[in-house]
């Protein structure tokens, strides 16, 4: 083996059959093959890079929906709040006896404060009113309102308490009887009275209306005076 100094080119023996031209050709082929191997390595690396890139894209495509789902789970979407209808209850009609008792209570409340417009919805237009004094019956709502307002003008601080109510229903007809105690001022003087009232009602267009109002004055215990000229009709 011969060592080659720096800058000196090693020469192959001619006896091996190598010529200068052949040597150059072999070296050129080797160089070309080397370049081919390098290109092949680059292509392989490129294919691998493409394959890795494709896998990365697939992974991203797979993970994105899952990440979106996870994000949705962590940050739930705020849906538009729908109106709550659980508190809305369909009105159930009261039994007739209870409906009539409620109407009487409301009617007497309006009677005490003098609200004739509110009173009217409880009375039939052809109502008949019999007072506790010796006089003709008052027929019709309009006539009753005139009589009521005339006596109401003479009365202050009117209060009427109802007790011992009894109601009976016969189909579309009913009657109610109750006792009452009246206190107030009539013509500037304090007054109190006791009495009974009987109402007859008819059911018209699904609503109970008073068609007869009959009131009687009862003397207080230990008294015999039945004078009641100042008591408003109820």
Q: What is the CATH number of domain 96-218?
A: 3.10.450.50
State the DSSP string of 144-169: HHHHHHHHHTTEEEEEEEEEEEEEEE
pLDDT at residue 86 in the model: 46
The structural domains of the chain, with segments of one domain joined by +, span 19-74, 96-218
Residues 199, 210 contacting (CB under 8 angstroms) = yes
Closest Cα partner for 158 from 190, 136, 116? 190
Q: Is residue 63 helix, strand or coil?
A: helix
pLDDT in tens, 28-62: 554 555 545 555 555 545 554 444 444 343 333 33
- Burial of 210 from C-beta contacts in 10 A (0-12 / 13-18 / 19+): buried
Q: For residues 10 and 93, which has the higher predicted lDDT (pLDDT)?
A: 93
Sheet hosting strand 155-170, strand order edge to edge: 138-139, 123-130, 207-218, 189-204, 173-186, 155-170
What is the rounded CA–CA span in Å between residue 49 and residue 38?
16
Mean pLDDT is lowest, of 41-45, 70-74, 150-154, 173-177, for 70-74
Radius of gyration of the chain from its Cα atoms, rounded to whole angstroms? 56
Residues 225, 194 contacting (CB under 8 angstroms) = no
Q: How confident is the model at residue 14 (pLDDT cuts 50, 70, 90)?
A: very low
pLDDT in tens, 203-228: 999 999 999 999 999 988 876 655 54
């Amino acid at each position: 083996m011969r060592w080659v100094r720096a800058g000196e080119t090693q020469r192959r023996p001619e006896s091996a059959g190598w010529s200068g031209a052949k040597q150059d050709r072999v070296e050129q082929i080797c160089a070309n093959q080397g370049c081919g191997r390098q290109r092949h390595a680059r292509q392989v690396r490129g294919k691998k890079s493409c394959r890795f890139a494709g896998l990365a894209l697939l992974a991203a495509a797979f993970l994105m929906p899952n990440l979106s789902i996870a994000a949705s789970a962590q940050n739930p979407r705020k849906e538009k709040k729908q109106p709550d209808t659980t508190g809305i209850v369909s009105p159930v009609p009261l039994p007739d006896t209870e409906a009539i008792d409620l109407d009487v209570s409301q009617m007497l409340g309006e009677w005490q404060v003098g609200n004739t417009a509110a009173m009217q919805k409880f009375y039939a237009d052809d109502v008949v009113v019999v007072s506790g004094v010796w006089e003709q019956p008052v027929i019709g709502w309009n006539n009753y309102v005139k009589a009521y307002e005339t006596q109401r003008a003479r009365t202050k601080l009117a209060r009427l308490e109802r007790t011992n109510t009894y109601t009976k229903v016969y189909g579309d007809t009913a009657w109610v009887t109750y006792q009452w105690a009246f206190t107030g001022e009539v013509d500037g003087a304090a007054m109190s009275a006791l009495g009974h009232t009987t109402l007859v009602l008819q059911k018209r267009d699904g609503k109970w209306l008073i068609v007869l109002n009959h009131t009687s004055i009862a003397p207080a215990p230990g008294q015999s005076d039945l004078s009641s000229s100042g008591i408003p009709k109820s």
